[in-house]
């Protein structure tokens, strides 16, 4: 099943992120195992899985916590910071519109 283009690479920022990102970029990181252990069994098709993936970065509860949220003026700065993170963390860089720019996942 292919993923519709409009769903492939976008997230919806929490209000506090949207207020701080301005015209820049946000780096977000989470323990890579959380993506397996916390993934619902009933995701359905590819679109549902992609939607869950991009929302999951911002989930904080008893089972999972976002480990890093950092704001940058340039995409290059954000990517460099992500590349320097612990190898147990998956990370993503989103622009101010919530479109993913790069990451390790």
Tens digits of residue pLDDT in 81-90: 999 999 999 9
- The pTM (predicted TM-score) of the whole model is 0.89
d(CA 103, CA 101): 7
Inter-CA distances, 102 with 28, 47, 80, 92, 93, Å: 11, 19, 10, 6, 5
| Domain that includes residue 87, residue range | 5-104
The count of residues in the chain is 105
pLDDT digits (tens, 9 = 90+) for 10-50: 898 999 999 999 999 999 999 999 999 999 988 888 888 88
Instruction: Give me the number of domains the chain comprises.
Output: 1
């Amino acid at each position: 099943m292919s993923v519709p283009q409009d769903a492939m690479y976008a997230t919806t920022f929490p209000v506090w992120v949207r207020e701080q990102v301005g015209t820049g970029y946000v780096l977000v990181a989470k323990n890579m195992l959380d993506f397996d252990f916390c993934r619902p069994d009933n995701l359905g098709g590819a679109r549902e899985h992609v939607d869950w993936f991009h929302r999951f970065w911002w989930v904080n509860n008893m089972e999972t916590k976002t480990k890093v949220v950092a704001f940058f003026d340039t995409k290059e700065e954000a990517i460099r910071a992500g590349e320097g993170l612990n190898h147990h963390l998956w990370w993503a860089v989103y622009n101010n519109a919530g479109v993913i720019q790069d990451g390790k996942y």
